Copies of this chain bind each other. A is one copy, B any other.
Amino acid sequence: MASGARSALTREAVLEAAAALVRRHGPDALTMRALAADLGTAVTSIYWHVGGREALLDALVERTVAELGEIRPSGRTPEQRVVGVARELRRQLRDHPHLVALVHERGLTERMFLPAQRVLVREAHAAGLRGARAAEFVRAVQFQVVGHVLVERNRERAPVQQPGERELWGSQAAGDDPALARALARPVDTERLFVTAVRALVRSLLARPSRLPTRAPDSVA
């Protein structure tokens, strides 16, 4: 399964093959031996070019994070633009499910979010937030988005839950609110829930200060 196995082995080639392996079969499939087989080399050659498995994963994460696209805010109010940024970021993370797994496994969740921080800072300023307040806003949105994606990913991977919401809320259980029981027994519409939650958070945090007139940010890089 090696593609072009005749040229000399390169750090780039190793990372490329590793990325392909993860993309197709998930992070667990990335073993040094399988990777070497794909490359048509000895296992130990990988160690010379990129170091051990830890270093390989580090490089892989860095590489894939760099590939994430730009985030361009659009919308009339800061609230609309921030919700848009959050949705775009969520979409990007969902498009790279294995990357999210890798990043989380390696404790680099924060790294994943750095590209979006600048954009959010600009929106915070546009909404009249400054200093520590603006920083708090940026981080609240960051934790919200990344946390939601992690929980989502986890749910999708989860098998049938034993005493799940289904059974728990299936019968009466909810007292005098059958509509609630039905809603909790249904699977979650995560997209909708995400937008609702982000909008609620943003609305509260942006509403607190002096309420300056809302204008577009200086420039959209």
Question: Could you tell me which A residues sit within 8 Å of B by CB distance?
Answer: 62, 104, 106-111, 114, 117, 121, 124-125, 130-132, 134-136, 138-140, 143-144, 146-151, 154-155, 157-159, 161-165, 168, 174-175, 177, 179-180, 183-184, 188, 193, 196-197, 199-201, 203-205
- The oligomer's copy count stands at 2
Shortest A205–chain B CB gap in Å is: 5
Specify the main secondary structure of chain A where it touches its partner. Answer: helix
A109-B155, A144-B197 known; A132+B183 contact, CB < 8 A: yes
- Give the distance in Å from the alpha carbon of A104 to the alpha carbon of B158 in the complex: 9
Shortest A132–chain B CB gap in Å is: 5
- Give the distance in Å from the alpha carbon of A221 to the alpha carbon of B193 in the complex: 29
In the complex, residue of chain B having the shortest beta-carbon distance to the beta carbon of A208 = B200
A130-B179, A134-B180, A136-B193 known; A107+B154 contact, CB < 8 A: yes
In the complex, are the beta carbons of A179 and B144 less than 8 A apart?
no
Q: List 7 A-B contacts (CB under 8 A).
A: A104-B154, A117-B165, A124-B180, A135-B183, A139-B184, A140-B193, A143-B193
Contacts of A140 in B (CB 8 A): 193, 196-197, 200
In the complex, are the beta carbons of A168 and B110 less than 8 A apart?
no
Shortest A62–chain B CB gap in Å is: 8
In the complex, residue of chain B having the shortest beta-carbon distance to the beta carbon of A152 = B143
- Give the distance in Å from the alpha carbon of A136 to the alpha carbon of B143 in the complex: 19
Residue of B110, B180, B193 near A161 (CB, 8 A) is B110
- Give the distance in Å from the alpha carbon of A183 to the alpha carbon of B121 in the complex: 12
The residue in A110, A147, A188 that gathers the most chain B C-beta atoms within 10 A of its C-beta is A147
- Give the distance in Å from the alpha carbon of A203 to the alpha carbon of B206 in the complex: 13
- Give the distance in Å from the alpha carbon of A139 to the alpha carbon of B193 in the complex: 8
- Give the distance in Å from the alpha carbon of A188 to the alpha carbon of B143 in the complex: 11
Residue of B130, B158, B197 near A180 (CB, 8 A) is B130
In the complex, are the beta carbons of B108 and A180 less than 8 A apart?
no
